[in-house]
Structure 1
Amino acid sequence: MTLAKPIANPIDALRANVSAPFEQARAMPPEVYKTDAFLQAEIEHIFRKEWFCVGRADALTKPGDYVTCELAEQPVIVLRDREGDLKAFSNVCRHRMSTLLHGRGHTKSIVCPYHAWTYNLDGSLRGAPAMSGNSGFCKSDYALPEIRCEEWLGWVFITLNPEAEPVASRLSELERMIAGYDMTNYTETFFEEHVWDTNWKVLAENFMESYHLPVCHAGTIGGLSKLEEMVCPPGHDAFNYHTILKDDSLRIAMAHPSNTRLASEERRMTYLIAVYPSLMITLTPGYFWYLSLHPQGPSQVRIRFGGGMSNDYAGDAEAEQNLADLKALLDDVNIEDRGCTEKVYRGLCADGAEPGHLSHLERPNFDFAQYLMSRIDPSFEPKL
């Protein structure tokens, strides 16, 4: 009978793993994916302190448009207020603490589904039925707590950390790199939420490397990308990225003829961007799609999945068909990715599972591991 290998302290295991330079690096150890101890460290040191993307600003265009999420176990509402500003609030009633709004939608006010306490779009309490008999009650004491919310290039971010560096400052280098794509010039046409049976980092790492494309995506996009044309440079403090030159047979990934911002190979170059901790963006000159990930325990990940086309294509006679083709393609890609990432999680939970050495095409995975360690232990100095 083979006894299961004792589980090492996951933070110690990661520290040992990331202490090697990239030329000798291995995949992260199983303990960082499957243990509650490491998940709690992530919640405390990463998701409670970093910026989290809830989606695109163009999905919240009218006053009263809202979206909800949970960030580090805290329910949050993000909405467009009556002045047209994006705001985020605690999604918990100040009376008996029910959650308020759910999913995405539009509302003129925020009404508690338990006792109908009603809040304005600025978070102030408008009305509370049958409270006149309590002499200590004062409406002005009951505004919803506000949460930091910022927009950057059309993306909406929130954070629970009042001292977090502003998004625009943190991502200034990325903004410079992709200026020619003009990310504000893309419109979200679909948004879905999913839960997959894998760890959030497995899915994040799957996005960060295109080494798997020819195999995992043989039925969809695998043949459109060549391993020898993938470039995986060292990452940055707040993000990593790699690039692929797409085959021009996928027309909707190419720059539109009216696009004069991009030249030469840029007109067919796709950026695969991982904004730490958990926003994954595929940015092509023609379309974009994204995943915003949040752990739901060690073995599940909640996924915010959206995307759409560059507005350069908006006037094309084929625009509607392009959008339909894009969504059908991405649905098929997601089926393939779900199968691969759920297999990885099952495998890493096996007795005796050991991480292998990384390919040069997995440089972003190495940088991601360095990022995780540096946030969980600020004294850690990332390796080159």
Structure 2
Amino acid sequence: MVDNLNLKEKLKNCLKSHDASSCIPPVCYSNEEILEIEKDVLFKKQWICIGHVSFLKKAGDYITKEILDTPVIIIRDKSKKIRVFANVCRHRSAKLLEGKGNTSGIICPFHSWSYNLEGRLKGAPNMDDAKSFKKDEISLKEFHSEVRLGLCFVHFENNLEKNLDEQIDNFENIHSKWPMETLISTRERTFNVNCNWKAFLEVFNEYYHLPYVHPETIGDVYKLPNFPDTTNGAFTSQFGRTSGNGALLENEQQFALPDMPGLSSDVLNSVRYTWIFPNLTFAIGNDALWIYEVHPLNSHSCKVFQTTCFPESTVKLSSFEKLSKQYYHRMDAAIEEDIPALENQQAGLRNPYAEPGRFSPLLEANVVSFANWYSKKLIGSDSLSLSTNKNL
């Protein structure tokens, strides 16, 4: 058990330079009260990224998700704008949509109240005798949403502490060499992992484990990375060269698809790993983009949304269906090796004698950057300050 005052002191060790920083305290990976603080401070009070929007191609295309116990609808309206609504009817709070699909309007399955794609109430049967009831004054609850480089961001609070561009700052500039906004999602996969949400994102962003967890699959593809880029917003990014294609297994390099159109020679044979804080990470290489969006289920498990994207010109190739399977195989094989390592780590993180270790400055650089951002947020939060005398 750790009191919050002691926790703050340990978090301060994460604020040191890359070569001196300590890991996030283990209690932050196994304590439900800390998770509630994270939800409030890291998720609800800032913009969070909820995935690539290319799977919403046409007006009326939608997908539903549950984010922090909040069911939402992500939908493309008639003007092709992306909107994010609370997935709840304004009549008696029934859930409106399930899964994904296409619709000309949103109709409640309970009492058939209907809304257009902009969220405005258009039909409410048998409500003519309801005093002062005006359909044109009723709309679905809509959250702030923006799209940058094909990625959708949402903010759940009415009052924005920062606009999106202030929060992610030079994100677009760092990723300008890749045509992210024109890529097409070709496979989405959802699965749960028995580890803390942060641990899943961390393993995707560090090179240290590659030769030990992935010795025969992808461990030899990656060379030593560059030191992370200087980022001014709530994200971190690290560029590295590869010995082949980072989106394929070592023994399946012959199945490579064409490079993305327009890539400059300085980004060929490489992968850029980026983590948009708190919960979305992706890697982009010569030919593919793979994304992981992660949401906590509790302190020791999380839901993961995996998305793989390619250029439209690649998707149109007659060989795409066959060759793309090798890319999906690589994604799945790496995850199948990561999950046992993560579940083993989670067991260790719950050990009452676990203490924060030290980072490898280069091989875990993105994780160091997240630990720094995370610690600043928690140390400065009212939620942690108000419970200083509590034991966690």
Structure 2 length normalisation: TM-score? 0.87
In structure 2, the residue matched to 1:123 is 119
Are 1:160 and 2:153 an aligned pair? no
- Give per-residue Cα distances to partners, 1:330-381, cap 9 Å, x unaligned: 111111122221211111102312222211211221211111122234489x
Q: Secondary structure at the match of 1:334?
A: helix
Structure 1 residue 172 displacement after superposition? 4.4
User: Of 3, 8, 11, which residue of structure 2 is paired with 1:8?
Assistant: 3
- Preserved CA contact (<8 Å) 1:89 1:145: yes
Q: Secondary structure at the match of 1:245?
A: strand
Q: Structure 1 residues 57, 19: closer, same or farther in 2, change over 3 A?
A: closer
In structure 2, the residue matched to 1:3 is none
Structure 1 residue 325 displacement after superposition? 0.9
In structure 2, the residue matched to 1:61 is 57
In structure 1, the residue matched to 2:226 is 231
- Give per-residue Cα distances to partners, 1:150-204, cap 9 Å, x unaligned: 1111111111134153434543423222212121232110112222111101111
- Comparing 182-191 and 163-172, the one that deviates more: 163-172
Are 1:145 and 2:141 an aligned pair? yes
Structure 1: segments with no counterpart, 5+ residues: 1-5
- Give per-residue Cα distances to partners, 1:278-336, cap 9 Å, x unaligned: 11011102101001111111111111110122345345453332211111111111111
- Equivalent-residue separation in structure 1 for 2:316 and 2:123 (angstroms): 46
Q: Structure 1 residues 71, 317: closer, same or farther in 2, change over 3 A?
A: closer
Structure 1 residue 106 displacement after superposition? 1.3
- Equivalent-residue separation in structure 1 for 2:138 and 2:22 (angstroms): 52
Give runs of aligned pairs for residues 196-207 of structure 1, distance below 5 A. 196-207=193-204
Percent sequence identity is 27
- Comparing 271-280 and 360-369, the one that deviates more: 360-369
- Preserved CA contact (<8 Å) 2:64 2:98: yes
Structure 1 residue 81 displacement after superposition? 0.8
User: Of 168, 171, 175, which residue of structure 2 is paired with 1:171?
Assistant: 168
Give RMSD over aligned pairs.
2.4
Where does structure 1 differ by over 6 angstroms across 4 or more consecutive aligned residues?
Answer: 252-255
In structure 1, the residue matched to 2:387 is none
- Preserved CA contact (<8 Å) 2:183 2:311: yes
- Preserved CA contact (<8 Å) 1:196 1:301: yes
Are 1:327 and 2:328 an aligned pair? yes
- Equivalent-residue separation in structure 1 for 2:333 and 2:308 (angstroms): 14
- Preserved CA contact (<8 Å) 1:36 1:297: yes
Structure 1 residue 94 displacement after superposition? 1.0
In structure 1, the residue matched to 2:342 is 341
- Equivalent-residue separation in structure 2 for 1:376 and 1:323 (angstroms): 41
User: Of 173, 181, 196, which residue of structure 2 is paired with 1:184?
Assistant: 181
- Preserved CA contact (<8 Å) 2:94 2:108: yes
Structure 2: segments with no counterpart, 5+ residues: 383-392
In structure 1, the residue matched to 2:377 is 375
Q: Structure 1 residues 320, 114: closer, same or farther in 2, change over 3 A?
A: same
- Preserved CA contact (<8 Å) 1:242 1:364: yes
- Preserved CA contact (<8 Å) 2:8 2:379: no
- Equivalent-residue separation in structure 1 for 2:76 and 2:242 (angstroms): 37
- Equivalent-residue separation in structure 1 for 2:115 and 2:316 (angstroms): 41
- Preserved CA contact (<8 Å) 1:14 1:32: no
In the alignment of these two chains, the number of paired residues is 372
Give runs of aligned pairs for residues 1-384 of structure 1, distance below 5 A. 6-9=1-4, 11-12=7-8, 14-161=10-157, 162-226=159-223, 229-233=224-228, 236=231, 237-248=233-244, 250=248, 256=258, 259-264=261-266, 266-311=267-312, 313-314=314-315, 316-360=317-361, 361-378=363-380
- Preserved CA contact (<8 Å) 1:64 1:109: yes
- Preserved CA contact (<8 Å) 1:14 1:373: no
